[in-house]
Structure 1
Amino acid sequence: MKLRKHERLAYRLSDIIVRLNDGERLNIFELADTYKVSIRTLKRDFQDRLTLLELYEEGPQFYRLHPSNIGYLDIADIQRFASFASVQDLLPKIDRQFFQEKLNQSIFVKGFAYENISERTDDFRTINQAITNHQYIEFYYRKVSDYASNNSKHYLLEPYHLLNKNGIWYVVGRLHGQTRTFCFTQMTQLHINTETFQCSEDIKKETLDTDSLFFGNQISEIILQVDAKVAGYFERRDLLPNQNLVQRLDSGDLLLACKNIHPREVVPIVQYWIPYIRIISPSEIQKDLEITISKYLIGN
């Protein structure tokens, strides 16, 4: 299957990082032939996308990692760095110290469209510092539904991750023993509290292993049937959150399961793919969707 542009980019960066990490001295002309890209593209890789790496030799023809850093990165680091480098425009312009001399493990990106947060660079840095040092953050938060009333609420949060999903930045953390998600741009008067908290590795893993943003409010499983006419799109990549294949029917239709997810994260996708997809269970979700569509069609 032909790779998409961003997939080719991530593959190329991963391969380059692996080879640098193994101590290779890379020739940019040989790389151009290997990856079938221009010299200009490769120079951009090294000068822009891989600028956080400590290179001992930097062009114009050869590139090599500093000897003291060879073998420093493990596979997880390499994958995370390549993922970050291929979507680095998601991040505000920040300096190398922001990443504390190694790949940052508190910032995650899911998706490639993004909102502009360049004016919130200081707050972004503050949150990341608190995540790294396991410090509480304090802020005021106003839900979208409360904007008309200008009603904000104060929070004291244990921050775990900065997460970009579908172009929107979120802060994932713990509040009163529950995992909560806050939209970054709706947080105001942000500052670090001097009090620290005990970071749970299990909770960190749990929040990264799901596509859901509704922590604690999910249902165990939603089953959907996808028409054979569009099944290929869902087989090519996961278009539904926490998507798993249950069965491929003789008709070519697919039965898919979304586990530990909130209906609000599934229903909009179903609406987009009408009439080629329907919710099999829980049946109440399909019924509510049909009622909503009927009201829309009759103008109520």
Structure 2
Amino acid sequence: MAYKHDYDSILTRLTIILSKLNDGEALCVKEMANEFNVSARTIQRDFNERLISFPIYQDKKKWKMQEGYKLEKSSNIEDTVILDIMQKLYEGAGDTFSMKANRLLGKIKNNTFNPFFAKLGMEDIGDKLKEVQLLENAIKKEVQITCSYRMPEEKRELVLKPLKIANYDGFWYLIALDTKDNKLKKYYLKNISLITLSSIHFKSTKKLDTLLENSLSVWFSEDVEPYKVVLHISKEVAKYFKRKA
């Protein structure tokens, strides 16, 4: 399938990174990017988003595990990565969604103590579970969908090629190609309803896969090349920016 993020590769990368940190190594973003043959932005996203639940911090441009922490809850660090990330993500997704997810994870995890805490501030999508399931199914099958999309002053009927359900700054979006112009667009998930899967298949491209993988906010565009921005800030607040560097 052309559209399929290599989740095994992502999981392998996160597991290796966490194992290195757990062994006391200090990791540099650039070195990790070279080791895994991905962009520095992807590694930054690993540390700042995908591994946010773990007790890691950045010191002098190197990432470290906080002293006194050791991942010994599970003999398999890969299991720990999957379950802890899933649990923290679901906690911010709404009461209904979170309750169902945590009940399932609890059966798997059998763990009464979790020392990690992360407040991700994601909006409640508990009332959109049906839509999420339909979209997930369409993305996996690579089939077009029809749906109703609520605009500020009207509703529109759309035919889309769904690529990804994404969370940017706490809000959920569907990233999809509009069949009218085949342009990549972002649709606020809560405004989507009446989803129907079609029998029309489509194929994404490697370029789109890479663009989606490296996107850090909803404002990305396939027509705009990434560019470097230099900020001049006072030393008093520099430490807050370095955490995202």
Q: TM-score range by the shorter chain?
A: 0.5 to 0.7
Identify the residue that residue 200 of structure 1 maps to in structure 2: 205
Partner Cα separation in structure 2 for residue 212 and residue 174 of structure 1 = 17
Q: Residues 235-250 of structure 1: matches in 2 within 5 Å?
A: 235=242, 237-238=243-244
Partner Cα separation in structure 1 for residue 177 and residue 230 of structure 2 = 29
Could you tell me which runs of 5 or more consecutive residues in structure 1 were left unpaired when the two chains were aligned.
22-74, 99-110, 239-243, 245-300
Q: What SS does the aligned partner of 1:153 have? A: strand
Partner Cα separation in structure 1 for residue 53 and residue 174 of structure 2 = 25
Partner Cα separation in structure 2 for residue 187 and residue 170 of structure 1 = 10
* 2:168–2:218 contact (8 Å) kept in structure 1: no
Identify the residue that residue 167 of structure 1 maps to in structure 2: 170
Q: 1:137 aligns with which of 136, 142, 145?
A: 145
TM-score (norm 1): 0.46
1:190–1:224: structure 2 CA closer, same or farther, 3 Å change rule? same
* 1:14–1:79 contact (8 Å) kept in structure 2: no
Partner Cα separation in structure 1 for residue 81 and residue 177 of structure 2 = 27
Structure with the greater alpha carbon radius of gyration: 1
Identify the residue that residue 26 of structure 1 maps to in structure 2: none
1:5–1:188: structure 2 CA closer, same or farther, 3 Å change rule? closer
Q: Residues 71-110 of structure 1: matches in 2 within 5 Å?
A: 79=81, 82-91=84-93, 92=97
Q: What SS does the aligned partner of 1:213 have? A: coil
* 2:53–2:85 contact (8 Å) kept in structure 1: no
* 1:137–1:191 contact (8 Å) kept in structure 2: yes
TM-score (norm 2): 0.55
> How many pairs does the alignment contain?
162
Partner Cα separation in structure 1 for residue 215 and residue 126 of structure 2 = 27
Q: What SS does the aligned partner of 1:198 have? A: coil
Q: What SS does the aligned partner of 1:225 have? A: coil
Partner Cα separation in structure 1 for residue 203 and residue 83 of structure 2 = 26
AA paired with 2:92?
L
Give 1:223 shift.
3.2
Q: Which one has more relative contact order, counting CA pairs under 8 Å at least 6 apart?
A: 2
Could you tell me which runs of 5 or more consecutive residues in structure 2 were left unpaired when the two chains were aligned.
1-25, 27-50, 57-64, 105-118
Identify the residue that residue 116 of structure 2 maps to in structure 1: none
Q: What SS does the aligned partner of 2:231 have? A: strand
Identity %: 14
AA paired with 1:207?
L
Identify the residue that residue 193 of structure 2 maps to in structure 1: 188
Q: What SS does the aligned partner of 1:172 have? A: strand
1:181–1:78: structure 2 CA closer, same or farther, 3 Å change rule? farther
Structure 1 residues 50-69: Cα deviation after superposition (integer angstroms, max 9, x where no partner): xxxxxxxxxxxxxxxxxxxx
